[in-house]
């Protein structure tokens, strides 16, 4: 009798946690092909805040309600690639690097990636409704 009660209790816990806390967002893989960067005299309009060049600390972001947003990146190129989310620098991908992730506390509208030498760029848009995994490739 005790085993049956324990079994029912364990099963109830399993189903409750797997249906609420265990829910994961749908994982969507997106192939993003490169484009040659067109040279211009002005600033890149896709970059609002570039890579930091000083050791000035950044204020800790405010905590927001809701889930974090995770973006994944696979670099299928031999280039170092800077990643910008909504125009803000979020990191650099190593050549041939896979499964690099960027965690955001809120949704996003655009991703912009550019080789560190400024030869190729990748653009895409999205949101946090799904777990997006971007596969960066050179045409």
Beta bridge partners of 135: 31, 74
Measured distance between the N- and C-terminal CA atoms of the chain, rounded to whole angstroms: 65
More confident residue, 1 or 50: 50
Pairing verdict, β 100-104 and 69-75: antiparallel
DSSP, res 54: S
Residue 3: phi and psi, rounded to 5, are -65, -40
Average pLDDT value over all residues in the chain:
77
Residue 81 in this model has a pLDDT that exceeds 90: yes
Q: Domains of the chain: which residue ranges?
A: 26-52+65-137
Residue 3 in this model has a pLDDT that exceeds 60: no
pLDDT category at 76 given cuts 50, 70, 90 is: very high
More confident residue, 41 or 16: 41
As a CATH number, domain 26-52+65-137 is 2.60.40
More confident residue, 109 or 132: 109
d(CA 19, CA 23): 6
d(CA 15, CA 20): 8
Tokens linked to 39? 């040279």
Pairing verdict, β 110-115 and 81-85: antiparallel
């Amino acid at each position: 009798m005790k085993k049956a009660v324990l079994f029912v209790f364990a099963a109830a816990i399993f189903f409750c946690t797997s249906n609420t806390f265990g829910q994961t967002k749908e994982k969507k893989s997106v192939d993003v092909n490169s484009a040659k960067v067109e040279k211009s005299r002005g600033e890149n309009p896709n970059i609002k805040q570039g890579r930091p060049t000083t050791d000035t600390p950044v204020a800790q972001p405010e905590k927001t309600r809701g889930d974090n947003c995770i973006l994944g990146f696979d670099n299928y190129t031999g280039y170092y690639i800077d990643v910008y989310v909504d125009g803000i620098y979020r990191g650099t991908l190593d050549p041939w690097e896979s499964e690099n992730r960027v965690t955001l506390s809120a949704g996003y509208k655009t991703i912009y990636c550019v080789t560190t030498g400024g030869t190729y760029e990748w653009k895409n848009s999205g949101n946090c409704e799904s777990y997006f995994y971007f596969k960066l490739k050179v045409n």
